[in-house]
Protein backbone atom coordinates (compact mmCIF):
# COMPACT_ATOMS: atom_id res chain seq x y z
CA UNK A 1 0.00 0.00 0.00
CA UNK A 2 1.34 3.43 -0.89
CA UNK A 3 1.90 5.87 1.97
CA UNK A 4 -0.48 8.75 2.56
CA UNK A 5 1.17 12.18 2.30
CA UNK A 6 -0.10 15.69 2.78
CA UNK A 7 -0.14 18.85 4.83
CA UNK A 8 -1.01 18.81 8.54
CA UNK A 9 -3.96 21.12 7.91
CA UNK A 10 -5.56 18.34 5.80
CA UNK A 11 -5.16 15.69 8.52
CA UNK A 12 -8.84 14.68 8.56
CA UNK A 13 -8.93 14.30 4.77
CA UNK A 14 -5.77 12.19 4.89
CA UNK A 15 -7.22 9.98 7.62
CA UNK A 16 -10.35 9.48 5.50
CA UNK A 17 -8.18 8.57 2.49
CA UNK A 18 -6.27 6.03 4.56
CA UNK A 19 -9.52 4.63 5.95
CA UNK A 20 -10.87 4.11 2.43
CA UNK A 21 -7.67 2.35 1.36
CA UNK A 22 -7.88 0.00 4.33
CA UNK A 23 -11.56 -0.74 3.73
CA UNK A 24 -10.85 -1.50 0.06
CA UNK A 25 -7.99 -3.78 1.03
CA UNK A 26 -9.97 -5.81 3.56
CA UNK A 27 -13.06 -5.96 1.35
CA UNK A 28 -11.08 -7.53 -1.49
CA UNK A 29 -8.43 -9.57 0.36
CA UNK A 30 -8.13 -12.98 -1.23
CA UNK A 31 -9.56 -11.88 -4.57
CA UNK A 32 -6.71 -12.40 -7.02
CA UNK A 33 -8.33 -10.28 -9.72
CA UNK A 34 -7.81 -7.21 -7.50
CA UNK A 35 -4.20 -7.98 -6.58
CA UNK A 36 -2.79 -5.24 -8.84
CA UNK A 37 -5.34 -2.45 -8.47
CA UNK A 38 -7.84 -2.45 -5.63
CA UNK A 39 -11.18 -0.85 -6.58
CA UNK A 40 -12.75 1.93 -4.55
CA UNK A 41 -14.98 0.60 -1.79
CA UNK A 42 -18.09 2.17 -3.34
CA UNK A 43 -17.37 0.34 -6.59
CA UNK A 44 -16.95 -2.91 -4.69
CA UNK A 45 -20.33 -2.44 -2.95
CA UNK A 46 -22.03 -1.84 -6.30
CA UNK A 47 -20.38 -4.98 -7.71
CA UNK A 48 -21.72 -7.02 -4.80
CA UNK A 49 -25.23 -5.67 -5.35
CA UNK A 50 -25.06 -6.47 -9.07
CA UNK A 51 -23.57 -9.92 -8.56
CA UNK A 52 -26.83 -11.23 -7.08
CA UNK A 53 -28.35 -10.85 -10.57
CA UNK A 54 -25.54 -12.87 -12.25
CA UNK A 55 -25.42 -16.32 -10.75
Specify the pLDDT at position 13.
Answer: 92
Residue 18, in any domain of the structure: yes
Reported as a single tens digit per residue, the pLDDT across 3-52 is: 888 998 999 999 888 888 888 777 766 665 555 566 677 777 887 788 77
Specify the pLDDT at position 18.
Answer: 87
Residue 15, in any domain of the structure: yes
Residue 43, in any domain of the structure: yes
pTM of the predicted model, to two decimals?
0.50
Residue 22, in any domain of the structure: yes
Residue 35, in any domain of the structure: yes
CB 41 within 8 A of CB 27: yes
Residue 25, in any domain of the structure: yes
Nearest-Å Rg of the Cα atoms of the chain is 14
Residue 3, in any domain of the structure: no
Structurally, how many domains does the chain consist of? 1
CA distances from 33 to 8, 21, 36, 51 (A): 35, 17, 8, 15
Amino acid sequence: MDPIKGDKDRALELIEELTQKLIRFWATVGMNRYAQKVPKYESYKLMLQASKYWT
